[in-house]
């Protein structure tokens, strides 16, 4: 994804911690502008990642209002949507990620319910 | 689109044959329309054709958002209908967006909305300046997203948003058990609802379309049959026609001179409906073939529907009566349409008839025979269908000839699918069995608007076509075939004898007259001679008297007697 750099001092920013490619988690968060839901989702995601995947994750935030053509690639309908690109298989988690347990299940960090 | 009145709802023509007629111009512009129906009834195709025709014919680009088929599948599927979707996409006339949603991949974790869908759709619309949108079928979302509350709220927002965008949209929906659609989409899309149906009765299937609701507009309320074929959709607004056909006074030949003579010497009326009915093997098809040939000779186009024979068989059979139909087929004036009546339903037959007639634009249409439809169908329905066909053909000023097989056990005049009231000219062919022989008789049962002959004629199939002969009608009944020939010979002999009698009588009279004349001449001669004699005697007598007088005078002179003078004077007095 080329649009990794979001312009102008947004609070939504990508976070990157370089690690070996093998166990690297590539996460992508799709949002549409800085809506409360988007901000909540980003905050929740950040928190979860710090707790669970410290040092081996990257978060890419894609604002569809700015790049609407990117929505089709990951079949985005609902916003916000978190896409786990790596490790495969691709997983999608929709919503503001407020239900931490569901997020962890969705990311395969917890055994499914 | 026609702008009829200021107040009518603006409409976007779909370009789908017939559909714009029943809706009075197309779908409501700038509003969403719900197309619902069961699986395989043509929802996707309807939407796709709406877009493709919009892009190609009305210069209105469109977005197709598919929730089921991928773009590649779509392109392939509609290629069979002659739509080059790839090219349209390349030229930015159409944008395809496949929305895939997989429940197993999705985990719900709190609040969300469908803004992503809006953005994608909005982006697609803006990228090509779309005026038309198809969502096919948005109900898939219900399977993919667990939270119905959010989904329904978002759908409501979506349709409002579409209206705000001012795009003419089609939303397809799967038919539900009790509702029009499985998810009750009709709640959200209430401006125009169209129902597609694919029904199977008696093992034949018919597609039908119905405008359930069309807010702010008049529309046809019937179920109309429609077709999906290599040219896409075509809907048939068949019952919209009334009894308002243009009527022609022009006459066209039936192709059989003697038959024309029976019809005031001019033949059928242009645009009329002719029925030829009769029992098996009486030559109905031959009469039809004659008519077809005559029309082709005039340079008119003829459409021949055969429901019993294959075109080749029919052409071969007609060769035996000297009608060469093949040449006209090669010249493109004659077209055969051969299908078994059971091949598809009545509505479909009607639809096919419409379609082929509209394509070929014939002046003459022949249906041979119509009563095969009755197999497995209700007579009433057959009649309705034929009525529609008749209406349709009449409206187009097409002369139609139907043949109908009368079954042995039914009455000749009554059986014919009960369509006699639709028929203008009805020719009845019948068997006349006599003296171990079966002959064909023909008469004009009715012919509206002309003083037709009421004579039964014998109908003969020769190797140069159909011939009509006067049948013998006399003291011995109606005679045909060899009986007629024998009777004719008898009559001829009789006439000859009578003629001879008359001749003899004539000669006798002549002779008598001559004898009489001779007698008269003889008598006259006798009389003349007698007369001459009498005159002679009278003359002699007078001479004698004169001479006596003279003698007296001479004697008196010689005696010089004066008295005698006085006597002479007296005599002189």
Residue A93 is nearest to which of B100, B109, B115, comparing CB atoms?
Answer: B109
Fold adopted by B251-470: Rossmann fold (3.40.50)
Query: Which candidate, B119, B108, B187, places its Cα nearest to that of B155?
Result: B187
B530 carries an active-site annotation:
no
A85 interface with B at CB cutoff 8 Å = no
Pairing between strand B302-306 and B364-368?
Answer: parallel
Please answer yes or no on whether B123 and A65 come within 8 Å at the CB atom: no
Are B11-240 and B251-470 in the same CATH fold?
A: yes
Query: Which candidate, B69, B68, B38, B48, places its Cα nearest to that of B181?
Result: B38
Please answer yes or no on whether A75 and B114 come within 8 Å at the CB atom: no
Give chain A positions within 8 Å (CB) of B120. 64, 68, 71-72, 76-77
Nearest-Cα distance to chain B for A70, in Å, is 9
A105 interface with B at CB cutoff 8 Å = yes
pLDDT at B1: 44
Give chain A positions within 8 Å (CB) of B119. 32, 64-65, 68, 71, 79
- Contact yes or no for B176/B182 (Cβ under 8 A): yes
A99 interface with B at CB cutoff 8 Å = yes
Supply the DSSP string of B102-136, one letter for each residue.
-GGGEEE-S--BSHHHHHHHHHHHHHHT-SEEEEE
What ipTM describes this predicted complex? 0.78
Residue B107 is nearest to which of A64, A77, A106, comparing CB atoms?
Answer: A106
User: Hey, where are the domains in chain A?
Assistant: 15-106
Give chain B positions within 8 Å (CB) of A93. 106-109
* pTM given for the model: 0.65
pLDDT in tens, A61-72: 999 888 888 888
B-side interface with A, Cβ within 8 Å? 97-101, 105-117, 119-120, 122-123, 127, 141, 144-145
Is B466 strand, coil or helix? strand
Is B249 strand, coil or helix? coil
A32 interface with B at CB cutoff 8 Å = yes
Name which of A80, A94, A110 to mutate to probe chain B: the one with the most chain B Cβ atoms within 10 A of its Cβ: A94
pLDDT at B440: 82
pLDDT at B278: 82
Q: Which residues pair with B359 in a beta bridge?
A: none
Q: Which residues pair with B64 in a beta bridge?
A: B96, B134
Nearest-Cα distance to chain A for B227, in Å, is 34
Please answer yes or no on whether A72 and B120 come within 8 Å at the CB atom: yes
pLDDT at B190: 74
pLDDT at A9: 40
Length of chain A: 113
Q: Which residues pair with B336 in a beta bridge?
A: B304
B554 carries an active-site annotation:
no
pLDDT at B414: 52
| B490 backbone dihedrals φ, ψ, rounded to 5° | -55, -50
pLDDT at B431: 79
Give chain A positions within 8 Å (CB) of B66. none
Name which of A71, A74, A88, A105 to mutate to probe chain B: the one with the most chain B Cβ atoms within 10 A of its Cβ: A71
Q: Which residues pair with B355 in a beta bridge?
A: none
Residue ranges in B367-468 assigned as alpha helix (H): 379-395
Supply the DSSP string of B133-162, one letter for each residue.
EEEETTTHHHHH-S-HHHHHHHHHHHHHHH
Query: Which candidate, B97, B81, B82, places its Cα nearest to that of B130?
Result: B97
Would you state the CATH architecture of domain B11-240? Answer: 3-Layer(aba) Sandwich (3.40)
A111 pLDDT exceeds 50?
Answer: yes
A13 pLDDT exceeds 50?
Answer: no
Please report where in the chains the tokens 């024979």 appear, as a residue.
B309
pLDDT in tens, A28-56: 999 988 888 889 889 988 988 888 888 88
Please answer yes or no on whether B116 and A65 come within 8 Å at the CB atom: no
- In terms of Cβ atoms closer than 10 Å to its own Cβ (0-12, 13-18, 19+), residue B503 is exposed
User: Hey, where are the domains in chain B?
Assistant: 11-240, 251-470
pLDDT at B40: 81
pLDDT along chain B (573 residues), means of 10: 58 85 87 88 89 91 90 87 87 89 80 88 91 88 83 89 92 83 78 86 75 84 78 67 68 87 85 85 86 91 88 89 88 87 72 83 88 65 76 85 73 56 82 76 83 80 81 67 78 90 94 95 94 93 93 86 55 52
- Helix axis angle for B379-395 and B346-360, nearest 10°, is 10
Which CATH superfamily hosts domain A15-106?
Answer: Glutaredoxin (3.40.30.10)
Query: Which candidate, B330, B315, B392, places its Cα nearest to that of B358?
Result: B392
């Amino acid at each position: 994804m080329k649009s990794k750099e979001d312009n102008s001092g947004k609070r939504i920013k990508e976070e990157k911690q370089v690690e070996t490619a093998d166990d690297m988690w590539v996460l992508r968060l799709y949002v549409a502008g800085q809506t409360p839901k988007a901000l909540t989702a980003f905050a929740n995601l950040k928190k979860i990642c710090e707790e669970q995947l410290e040092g081996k994750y990257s978060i890419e935030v894609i604002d569809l209002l700015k790049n609407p053509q990117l929505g089709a690639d990951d079949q985005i309908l609902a916003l916000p949507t978190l896409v786990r690109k790596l490790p495969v298989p691709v997983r999608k988690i929709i919503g503001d990620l407020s239900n931490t347990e569901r997020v962890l299940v969705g990311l395969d960090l917890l055994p499914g319910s | 689109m026609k702008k009829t009145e200021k107040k009518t709802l603006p409409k976007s023509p779909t370009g789908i044959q017939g559909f714009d007629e029943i809706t009075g111009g197309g779908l409501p512009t700038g509003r969403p329309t719900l197309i619902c129906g069961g699986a395989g009834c043509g929802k996707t195709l309807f939407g796709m054709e709406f877009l493709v025709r919009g892009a190609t014919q009305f210069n209105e680009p469109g977005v197709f958002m598919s929730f089921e088929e991928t773009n590649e599948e779509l392109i392939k599927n509609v290629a069979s209908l002659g739509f080059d979707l790839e090219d349209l996409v390349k030229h930015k006339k159409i944008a395809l967006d496949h929305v895939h949603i997989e429940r197993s991949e999705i985990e719900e974790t709190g609040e969300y909305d469908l803004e992503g869908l809006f953005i994608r759709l909005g982006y697609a619309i803006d990228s090509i300046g779309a005026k038309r949108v198809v969502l096919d079928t948005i109900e898939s979302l219900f399977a993919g997203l667990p939270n119905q509350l959010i989904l329904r709220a978002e759908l409501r927002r979506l349709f409002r948003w579409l209206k705000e965008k001012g795009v003419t949209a089609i939303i397809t929906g799967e038919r539900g058990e009790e509702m029009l659609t499985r998810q009750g989409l009709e709640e959200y899309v209430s401006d125009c609802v169209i129902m597609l149906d694919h029904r199977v009765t008696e093992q034949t299937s018919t597609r039908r379309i119905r405008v359930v609701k069309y807010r702010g507009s008049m529309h046809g309320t019937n179920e109309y049959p429609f077709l999906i074929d290599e040219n896409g959709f075509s809907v048939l607004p068949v019952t919209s026609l009334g009894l308002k056909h243009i009527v022609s006074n022009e006459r066209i030949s039936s192709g059989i001179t003697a038959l024309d003579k029976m019809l005031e010497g001019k033949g059928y009326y242009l645009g009329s409906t002719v029925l030829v009915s009769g029992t098996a093997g009486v030559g109905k098809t031959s009469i039809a073939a004659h008519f077809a040939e005559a029309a082709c000779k005039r340079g008119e186009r003829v459409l021949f529907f055969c429901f019993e024979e294959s075109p080749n068989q029919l052409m071969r059979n007609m060769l035996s009566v000297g009608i060469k139909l093949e040449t006209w087929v090669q010249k493109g004036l004659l077209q055969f349409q051969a299908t078994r009546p059971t091949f598809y339903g009545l509505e479909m037959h009607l639809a096919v008839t419409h379609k082929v007639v509209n394509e070929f634009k014939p002046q003459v249409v022949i249906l041979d025979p119509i009563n095969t439809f009755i197999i497995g169908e209700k007579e009433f329905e057959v009649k309705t269908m034929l009525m529609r066909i008749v209406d349709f053909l009449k409206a187009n000023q097409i002369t139609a000839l139907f043949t109908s097989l009368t079954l042995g056990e039914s009455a000749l005049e009554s059986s014919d699918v009960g369509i006699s009231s639709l028929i203008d000219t009805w020719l009845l062919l019948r068997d006349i069995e006599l003296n171990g022989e079966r002959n064909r008789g023909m008469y004009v049962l009715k012919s509206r608007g002309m003083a037709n002959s009421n004579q039964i004629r014998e109908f003969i199939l020769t190797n140069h076509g159909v011939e009509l002969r006067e049948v013998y009608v006399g003291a011995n009944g109606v005679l045909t075939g060899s009986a007629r020939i024998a009777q004719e010979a008898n009559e001829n002999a009789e006439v000859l004898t009578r003629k001879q009698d008359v001749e003899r009588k004539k000669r006798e009279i002549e002779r008598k007259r001559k004898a009489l004349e001779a007698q008269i001449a003889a008598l006259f001669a006798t009389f003349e001679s007698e007369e001459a004699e009498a005159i002679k005697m009278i003359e002699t007598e007078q001479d004698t008297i004169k001479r006596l007088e003279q003698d007296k005078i001479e004697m008196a002179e010689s005696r010089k007697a004066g008295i005698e003078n006085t006597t002479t004077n007296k005599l002189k007095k």
